[in-house]
Amino acid sequence: MPETPTSTSTPKIIYILYLVGILVPFVSIIGLVMAYVNKDDAPEWLQTHYQFQIRTFWIGFLYGFIGLLLTMIVIGYFVLLFTVIWLVIRSVKGMKYLDTQQAHPNPSTWMFS
């Protein structure tokens, strides 16, 4: 069945891919590509989710990279732990807004919502 313009299945799959990406990192790239491909054709309220997802990937990538660099000193492990917790919270909150068919209230934030 073709996806309707207001279908939330694609953004939900992207959130799930990001969560799976914690264990299998390259899966997150698939989610990123899906978000970029679908963001322009989506209704405005879904575009906020795609923007949030794209930012989640790139900010998470930055946090993860900094964490990896800092693993030479112990603080890097704490940065990586923070990054995982941050990613889980952002994905779950995004899915919560998606399930109620609400636009994400602050898609450009660096933190949780």
Structural domains of the chain, count = 1
Range of the domain at 17: 9-99
Residue 1's pLDDT is 41
41 within a domain of the structure (yes/no): yes
pLDDT tens by residue, 51-88: 999 999 999 999 999 999 999 999 999 999 999 999 99
Top pLDDT among 103 and 33 is at 33
Residue 6's pLDDT is 57
108 within a domain of the structure (yes/no): no
40 within a domain of the structure (yes/no): yes
104 within a domain of the structure (yes/no): no
106 within a domain of the structure (yes/no): no
Residue 5, pLDDT > 50, answer no
44 within a domain of the structure (yes/no): yes
Mean pLDDT of 12-33: 94
110 within a domain of the structure (yes/no): no
48 within a domain of the structure (yes/no): yes
| Global model pTM greater than 0.85 | yes
Top pLDDT among 68 and 108 is at 68
3-state SS of the chain is CCCCCCCCHHHHHHHHHHHHCCCCCCHHHHHHHHHHHHCCCCCHHHHHHHHHHHHHHHHHHHHHHHHHHHHHCCHHHHHHHHHHHHHHHHHHHHHHHHHCCCCCCCCCCCCCC
